[in-house]
Amino acid sequence: MILFLLAACNGDFSSFIPTVAFDRLEVDALDFDRIDTHFVFQVDNPNPVGAPLDRFSYAFALQGVELLSGDDPDGLELVADGQSEMALPVSLDFVGVYEAITATRGLDYVDFGLDGSFGFDTDLGPINVIYDEDGSFPAPRIPKFKLGKLRFTDITASDVNFGLDVGVNNDHGSTIDLRDLDFRLGFAGVEVGGGQVEEFGSVNGATEETLTIPFGIDYVDAIDAITAAATGEKLRVDLDATLNVDTPFGTLPLHVDETGDVDVVQ
């Protein structure tokens, strides 16, 4: 670039070096399994001619644990006398992330670090502009479900009504609300029906609460559960359900598939 060479002849070319500033984090897609984001930078080129970006390196970490790194200039051409917007895509599988980082219970967001350099090849040689940014990154965690006791709530000549206790463990710092529960239940390997619960319940941040699924079935279909209750044996219960979870990041859909040997109590 002739411009850099002329500046160097005057002994100072610092005012001609492009500058880099982190602008924002954009979340493109988010669920309990994965997040797709863009880290958006503003690159300011003070020169009256365009300048190509020849190198771009990055290292991304959560809670001090490096998860991603690379070198991707993506063919960005800086405009003359102005700002160019550059977006670095980052996608994460949350299962792998939370195996790598610890001590996140009770946090809705975790700390991120992003550092690297933008590189420009000039007539004076390569010039690298270093950046080092940090901030907060969304951290949705799947609520953990555990089957509890199966309770007889009402028995008539033809029907049996139950309440299935379910422990729900919330790792977030904020309360989550569970609603629009659509479920199917099986007793001792036999499907006995299903139902819907519009408002399932709430679980405070960093706590575990017991919520109850109300459920009624025909007396004949419930005979295995009644027999188990009479003999004091545990009953194998299968729960397959979908629901919506209101989180700090919006409403996220969730599928639950749990099986357990539970106590049957009256």
Mean pLDDT of 169-198: 93
Among the ranges given (87-91, 115-119, 193-197, 230-234), the one the predictor scored with the smallest mean pLDDT: 230-234
The pLDDT assigned to 14 comes to 60
User: CB-hemisphere CA count at 13 Å for 154?
Assistant: 9
Given the DSSP bridges, would you call strands 125-138 and 109-122 parallel, antiparallel or unpaired?
A: antiparallel
Question: Is 57:66 a contact under the CB 8 Å cutoff?
Answer: no
Q: Tokens for 115?
A: 């550092």
Residue that is last in its domain, among 90, 117, 138:
138
Among the candidates 80, 103, 138, a domain finishes at: 138
Are 201 and 134 members of one domain? no
Do 179 and 126 lie in one domain? The reply is no
For the chain, the domain total comes to: 2
Q: By residue range, what is the domain housing residue 53?
A: 2-138
CATH number of the domain bearing residue 40? 2.60.40.1820
The average confidence (pLDDT) of the chain is 84
- Signed CA dihedral, 244, 247, 249, 254: sign only: negative
User: What CATH number is given to the structural domain containing 201?
Assistant: 2.60.40.10
Are 123 and 4 in contact by the 8 Å Cβ rule? The answer is yes
Q: Are residues 38 and 79 in the same domain?
A: yes
Query: Which residue stretches of 160-233 are H helix?
Result: 223-231
Q: What is the pTM of this model?
A: 0.81
37-63: average pLDDT? 80
118 and 228 in one domain?
no
Least confident of 75-79, 166-170, 207-211: 75-79
CB-based contact 241:203 (threshold 8 Å):
no
33 plus 105 within the same structural domain: yes
Three-state secondary structure call for residue 3: helix
List beta partners, residue 58.
Answer: 70, 116
